[in-house]
A and B are shown apart, each in its own frame.
Chain A
Amino acid sequence: MDKRKIFISPVTRIEGHANITLEMNDDGTVHDAQFHVNEFRGFEKFCEGRMYTEMPTITPRICGICPTSHTLASVKACEMIQGIKPTYTANLLRRLMHIGQNLSSHALSFFHLSAPDFLLGYDSDPAKRNIIGIAEKFPDIALRGIRLRKFGQEISERITGKKIHIMGIVPGGMAYPLTEDNRKALLDWIPEAKQTVQLGLNIIKKFHEENGEMVQSFANSPTLYLGTVGPGGEHELYDGKLRFMDEEGVILNDQVSPERYLEFIAERSVNWSYLKYPYYKSYGFDNGFYRVGPLARLNVCSRMKTPLAQEEFEKFRQMNGGRPVHGTFYYHYTRLIEALSDVEDAERILNDKEVTSLHIQHHGRWNYEEGIGSSEAPRGTLFHHYKTDETGKLINVNLLIATGQNNPSMNRSVLEVARQYVKGEDIKEGMLNRVESTIRCYDPCLSCSTHAIGKMPMVIELKDRKGNLIRSIERY
């Protein structure tokens, strides 16, 4: 193959693969970086022509890690079309399931995917820098991480009978109640889950102490933030209003109903990635990059809803004098604070007398032609927007996914880390891992789905300013 040609590997054109192109200056420093996502899913298009009521079944298949978030956003959009609301108990069960998914996802992200870097080192043997390596060296931590993930999935299983791609969250409420036996069984998990999350917090805080400079400087670029908050500005995952915040901590828009998302967010496509570039509309494409996910949620919210999480939240907020914390590395810390809040909130819900009530569904039918739903997926704010004809058949679908909203920032973070660690044409494995870990901070879906054992399939290309390929490193 002519090495002067731009190389875009077709091998990576499947879910979970990424390409990175680095444009080099003549002096061997990095000029620009592009993070390519080559997956094409097509959900928005092939859902057209289906009944809107099928969407809560179809859209969870977008992701095996956050199917509950998709289902929730979808049923909310359906409920807007029908003009109905779920019952009190259904809301409790939905919250509980969402917590389960969030816990499971955060446990996977931290203990399985990221902890190997913290516990074994960025430059350790790649063959052992994974959960297996953790299991060999720190078996208790590995087991606890696996069990925390199990607890999250067991919540779904004990309510709906399935761990992933759950059925049972339906427009108007839930299809299945929680039995008393299952309620008690889930409550038994709480003490262990709390301990495990606190163990994770200790690991990350120790890493912060020992690697302060790296943690502070790691892709530390100011961006805007978007997250969901409750009526009093409290942290919220399931049902709330949107809050936009600028890089200085000024609230740009507050208590925005998710139905108005298009007034604030626009999207643009680029010709080198299937992942679109959403941006904060009034700041324009160049300045409107915003981030979503745990870091964004904890930056925008005023307080946590539970006591132990609130204690950690206060420590987090002091890190930048009460202003937003921009360091991408803090995604891990905020993820664990959220996990702590999840466990505490799960305990509160499981102790609610109404959680086992059989009044779990309201019934409705098609009434309106448009529905918008949102939820906070583990990776950030998620929007489902459906338009139907007068029979309920979908004529337009817009899905604004959390990873997409982080895409511009991921690009910027990759550039910053590349500039920090890549010098010259000789790319070392440690550099590859650091660039990879930048992406991993965001815990994007493409990482979750393919990165199960510590290595993300990746192609890094080194090009000169004219676009000529200097070198390409592939890892599958």
Chain B
Amino acid sequence: MAEQQQPLPKVVLVGNPNVGKSVLFNVLTGAYTTVSNYPGTSVEVSRGQCEIAGTDYEILDTPGMYSIMPITEEERVARQILLQETPHAVLHVIDARNIERMLPMTLQLIEAGLPIILVVNILDEAKRLGMEIDLQKLQKNLGVPVIGTVMKRRQGLPELQQAISEYASVPHKTFTYGSDLERDVTRLATVIKGDYRFSKRATSLLLMQKDEDVEQLIVTGENTENLELLQTLVRDVIFERRADLHLQISMERKKICKQMLDGVVQQTELSEKEPFAELLSRWTVNPWSGVPILLLVVYFGLYKFVGGFGAGTLVDLLEGNIFEEYINPPVINFVQQHVSAEWLFELLVGEYGLWTLGIRYAVALVLPIVGTFFLMFSLLEDTGYFPRLALLVDRVFKKIGLSGRAVIPMVLGFGCDTMATMVTRTLETVRERIIATILLALAIPCSAQLGVILGLLSGVPGALAVWLLAMILVFLLVGLLAAKVMPGEHPIFYMELPPMRLPQLRNVLVKTLSRMQSYFMEILPLFLFASFILWSLKMLNVLEGLIGALSPVVRAIGLPVEATSAFVFGFFRRDFGAAGLYDLQTNGLLTPAQLTVAAVTLTLFVPCIAQFLMMKKERGLRVSVSIFVFVSLLAFSCGWVLNKILLTTGLLA
């Protein structure tokens, strides 16, 4: 146990998005804990372990960052790691094709005095573009180890492992900027007395660029007198250089990178014809072909695959066949034989039993739907489709106060709104995050619910169309309204478009499994908890009271009293509610119009408990309770209006 107390030496992976950090992480650790690698969903740091040459290391994979000066929340997460940890080595992973653009960050990392190993990845594709890179020379120029790799095929792995295990920190080279900039840096660096993770030089530069985290650090790191002196100096420099500091620093770094790369990169012009990926990429971003492609993706990916195969075939197989015929009867039998107390019987296998409701719903009903969705999502994600979708919808999304970037949490919401609510933190402004949270809570049905609703409505001609129309209308109206009334700055859209590529099956499967795993871990306890609550409400006869209290509202929107329980369930899991409707439908208790009204109201109705908890965590109690009240009121008002419309027009009658 002695070595347990000694923390493992850490190896941190940093770099732009889409350079293969997560692949490298998987290759190094062999772990299945990968998180996605495209802008938008990877907001957490993954940790894993590996052994190299007899020593155990802890490997940390950070969200993508473009510079050590963070702008978005995910970059801040990544930078925080660099500011706090004391790593054995920091691997800066770059895309060989874009070496000139990514090298400035290497300079920053070296300048910060971190133990850098530069990993030049994706060498194979660079070669295909006619680029020859002299890594030896680059290593000499930079003064840090440089390893060339093709991580997809594990090329360069032994060399990298050797570089990690043999890493010896030597004082780094200093890259000199223009004399005026140097003068200011020195002015600040000589005043800094505290001990920080980053070098004084890097700290000075970050202070000059008004980096808030570093400003915080010096408040605690310097004594009062020195702090005041330093802050005054910083203010002076910032003021003197208010016109063009950022630009100057960027340009100076670019100049240094040019020197570093002088004679390193040989580019031969290739006159090959446009590869298919480029062509496909152009189709997806052109509105004339992009919108049809989007519709195809939605139809085949969402409707056919998730709705048809996942919610239909798989659910029928698992729920109708395996559970109903092979698993449930022996389980119920077993409980019946061994349990005499009625309350315990009810708790385990009764109407709202832990097994019959909790486990069965989670495993047989929800998991196949969510699983197929995540498979689809991971597949699309790895092709690089989402950034292209983002730019396609940007103009429309601007109208509802969001930038195209928000399309990623929105799409993810169709899988799991809880996860999507967490991902809204990648949006840049608070305003965007709140609007996205509202829309997710209101108008984006999660895949579990979507599956049940699609199944429910597809039997009734026209119902699906009315439901879809109502959802789109509410989504746009509420978005427009929110964009009008919400204060705050308007979003600006910019995004890097990674090249489109064929997804790697293994990667897609690993992502799908890890998403399903985290989803399952999160929902199973909640399912059990919800079953338990429903069971105790039933036992205490409170459930009837609750249903009785809500029933006038339900009757007001034209639904039978029996539907009330679906709404009460709906709070625990949105799909519980939808599944409740399913039971009513099979018992023939609902007319087509009633079914549609119920489906619309239920889709709009409050998010499930898990999403509410996530909303509270991300947006705070006040905002989330307001959203909760707003959404509930709106759901029933919409149901009421829709019911009146359907009754007067005689549609779906």
Genuine A/B complex: no
Interface residues of A (CB under 8 A from B): none
